[in-house]
Amino acid sequence: MSRQTYRVCFCCRRSFKVTAPPVPGDVKDLFQRYSENGVMSVDQLQRFLIEVQKEGGATREDAQGIVDRLREQGRFHIFHRTGLTLDDFFSYLFGEINPPLSPNLGVHHDMNAPLSHYYIYTGHNSYLTGNQLSSDCSDKPIIDALKKGVRVIELDIWPNSNKDDVHVLHGRTLTTPVELIKCLKSIKEHAFVASDYPVVITLEDHLTADLQAKVAEMVTQTFGDVLFSPGPECLKEFPSPESLKKRVIISTKPPKEYLQAKKPTEKEVDSQRGKAGDEEAWGKEVPDLREDILNDDKDDDDEEEDEVDDDEDDGVGGNKPQQKAAPEYKRLIAIHAGKPKGGLDEGLKVDPDKVRRLSLSEQQLEKAVVTHAKEIVRFTQRNILRIYPKGTRITSSNYNPLIGWSHGAQMVAFNMQGYGRSLWLMQGMFRANGGCGYIKKPDFLLKSGPLNDLFDPKAPLPVKTKLKVTVYMGEGWHQDFDSTHFDLYSPPDFYARVGIAGVRADRVMKKTKTLEDNWIPVWNEYFVFPLTVPELALLRIEVHEYDMSEKDDFGGQTCLPVSELRSGIRMVSLHDLKGEKYKFVKLLMRFEFLDPSTEE
């Protein structure tokens, strides 16, 4: 039931009544416990921050700062200048100043380890504006990705029609090209808008030696001293993100063949469309690793023709006479890349004298983790593993990133121009560590155990902690959506889905009851999630509107790294399908970390 509360006009400082959402019973009880005579003093608020919100270092000044901010926002009750009323307290809890991730945490991981010790926010076909077959190529999606903190940009480089310049496009498709120089200039301009940590450009190279030399000149002139170029030889160890701040790094396989693009036939395009399949409006549920993956005989060849074995037919234009690659181009390549030759046993060997990047498709990874899980983990302790989407993801959909992350893969490459649940996991993961695009991998993926054993995400593990999540209520839909968006003649029927993405033992989704005809749903339900590997766990939150006759309507989502989740009652902003935050839609939730032995 809604209630009346006071707000203060900024102009005349007069108070006025507005309709406000109901205060949950738990919030009322906590206010009673930490207040006297209907007012919570600054000292009592400090005690609440320490005891309930688990902000152990909260000072009286912190509590006073909350009071001052509420007053500045006009949300402070006019009759009580020295403390908080229940309405003021609720405004604090359900306000922007009380998010689930600390706004002051910033970059707090150790950034002085080698690059191989970090998950890196990685894009795939970063130049595409839409689908993989016929959308435009542009520098705009590259700019958008960099602004969101993506640190790895992929460019497919091909000769133009006159063979005298270099274009970026998705080869053997109908995508329209964009000039390479335009993409490079945009990367330089926007590389460090969201983060100072290095940007890696992965090149999928289909050029002749003379055009490679032209690329070398473009890259050198565009980036100058910003470019990290250690020389033509493989690095013995990767530098750290800290040492590479505001640097640009080139990664590709030094090519030996010129791979000619050919325009696809209508039959080939139609065939690829047929493989794409239909996706639900917000994407299918994130798939887990299939146990029968070894029986999957689907073709998983992808677009990375530059990484075929040197003596293999590329399947496009046949074998071409080998040419010596331009030496100035080779010198640009800081992270040498390739695909496994001689099978996984050979491809995953760790060389003590050099480091490199290995690329696998999502299907190759799914097969490899069944047969070579420990070898993958060992390989990624020193080297970089890049995973890319299978070629049949024509709609720019994505896959489950946790399979790669749980085996140490640093570059899980995603189609950032798509949307859906998999992309929400990617966005949630990289909200950690100040959103800088680099996240330190857990220690158990970086070193062997006491018996020289390696982490196995499928192995049964004890529960480390339990996360109790209470979903109190939500509001804001009537402001961010039209009144008839969900139902033409009645208020919406909302329900929430809450769960965990992580290793298989932790993966689960649960659902609240559906509340009929209510723009401000009050669920007051809680769920307990036992976590065996909380370091890799992501909290998934979605709201949908129940529709009896059609598919349920989407009402918002977010994904949060459990490792940085703040205990206590928090305001959780929801985002749209593509990950953009709504202006008003939000939930009031509580997060509590419990001892593993605690009864649910």
Which residues are catalytically annotated? 124, 170
| Residue 376, H or E segment | helix 373-382
Rounded Cα–Cα distance for residues 134 and 250 (Å): 27
Helices (H), 38-179: 42-51, 60-72, 86-93, 140-147
Cα–Cα distances (Å) from 13 to 16, 64, 65, 160, 235, in that order, read: 10, 21, 21, 65, 65
Rounded Cα–Cα distance for residues 285 and 508 (Å): 11
Closest by CA to 349, choosing from 321, 330, 372, 331, is 372
Closest by CA to 152, choosing from 127, 185, 124, 130, is 124
| Residue 373, H or E segment | helix 373-382
Question: Parallel, antiparallel, or unpaired: how do β-strands 538-545 and 494-501 relate?
Answer: antiparallel
Closest by CA to 186, choosing from 231, 159, 150, 211, is 150
Which structure tokens are listed for 207? 């050029």
Amino acid at residue number 150: V
Paired strand residues for 591: 469, 568
Tell me the backbone φ, ψ of residue 444, rounded to 5 degrees.
-70, -15
Closest by CA to 415, choosing from 391, 399, 438, 397, is 397
